[in-house]
Amino acid sequence: MNFYYFGGRFNDENSIETPSSLEKHHFFGVLFTYDATQGDMFVRTAKDIKLNEKIKYLIAIRPYTISPQYLYAINESMNEIDKNRLQINIISGYIKDHEKDIGGIVGKINDLSHTIDKSKHTIEFIKSLKKIFKKKENYLDLYISTTNSYVFNEAKDNNNKIIMPYHVYKRKFWSDFYKDPSSMVPFDIKNMDVMITMTPIIRKNKEELALLKNYAIRPIWKKGEKSRVIDDVEYFTYESFHEFIKMLEEDGIHDLLINAIPREEVEIIIPFIKKYVELQE
């Protein structure tokens, strides 16, 4: 299993979440999220990347904020620094309240567009990328975040790698409530390259897990949202986590993107992965 960490940090020598630290803890890659207020992750990656390391930099980007052509140019330049270290995650975009007034998008689709319109734009973006990166030497290591059947089907038709939420993978169907609130659309990920994103809570035994009532509360980023346990959380003992990883691999899944919520779980999950990988080796 290739373990990825959700939400890495730059320029913090005391943090366990930097790419260099995560590589030492046997993570295969680190995802850097998109937020218009937090700087350019491509620039920071170019500054941070170390030639003696192998960890992948998975950069999330909203497709309407950048053109396929410019993404091609960035990928070419990053390969000149160190080949095959950059990965791209195309996301339709969840907009936090503090981003609403930034603007700066020229075109019909922007941060405030309807989810369906963003999905349609993502589909056109995927098609354009396929044309630009049609040659093997111009390869783009691309993951498409899939949260509905429309984008999923397009990614599948184009043989794209995808990132799928754990709660969707677990229930085995899409709920396309924008089209039909009662709809349940089954899917098949056989022969697809899938990364599952989840929030694992790991403790030594069931007794310790039983003490964690209403744990892993989702942060509130928008006015009107209510505090609740996040959708993609799952609770594991050391033994059941190993069984879970075996189940994923038997299902053809070899990439797991791990989120740490609440924040203090960082100090548990990252050292745990290090020990887990070393035990498997």
Query: Residue 274 is part of a domain; what is its CATH number?
Result: 3.20.20.30
pLDDT at position 98: 42
The yes-or-no verdict on residue 281 having pLDDT over 60 is: yes
Which residue type does 183 have?
S
Most confident of 90-99, 128-137, 154-163, 248-257: 248-257
What's the pLDDT at 275?
97
Residue 53, amino acid: E
Rounded CA separation 129/270 (Å): 34
Q: Residue 77 carries which DSSP code?
A: H
Confidence of residue 14 (pLDDT cuts 50, 70, 90): confident
Number of H helices, E strands in the chain: 9, 11
- Give pLDDT, residue 229: 84
How many domains would you assign to the chain?
Answer: 1
Do 229 and 216 contact (CB within 8 A), yes or no? yes
Confidence of residue 272 (pLDDT cuts 50, 70, 90): very high
> Could you list the residue range(s) of the whole structural domain that residue 234 is in?
2-280
Report how far apart, in Å, the C-alpha atoms of 11 and of each of 3, 5, 35 are.
22, 17, 17
pLDDT band at 152 (very low <50, low <70, confident <90, very high): very high
Binning pLDDT at 50, 70 and 90, where does residue 105 land? low
Angle at 25 between CA 21 and CA 27, to 5 degrees: 95
Asked whether the predicted pLDDT for residue 97 surpasses 50, the reply is: no
Instruction: Place 176 in a pLDDT band, splitting at 50, 70 and 90.
Output: low
What SS3 class is residue 183? Answer: coil
Q: Each residue of 60-90: pLDDT tens digit?
A: 999 988 999 999 999 999 999 999 999 999 9
Residue with tokens 């410019």: 70
Give the integer Cα–Cα distance in Å for 193 and 45: 25
Residue 112 identity (one-letter amino acid): L
End-to-end C-alpha distance for the chain, whole angstroms: 12
Structure tokens at 18: 């930097």
Residue with tokens 């169907």: 173
pLDDT band at residue 107 using 50, 70 and 90 as cut-offs: low
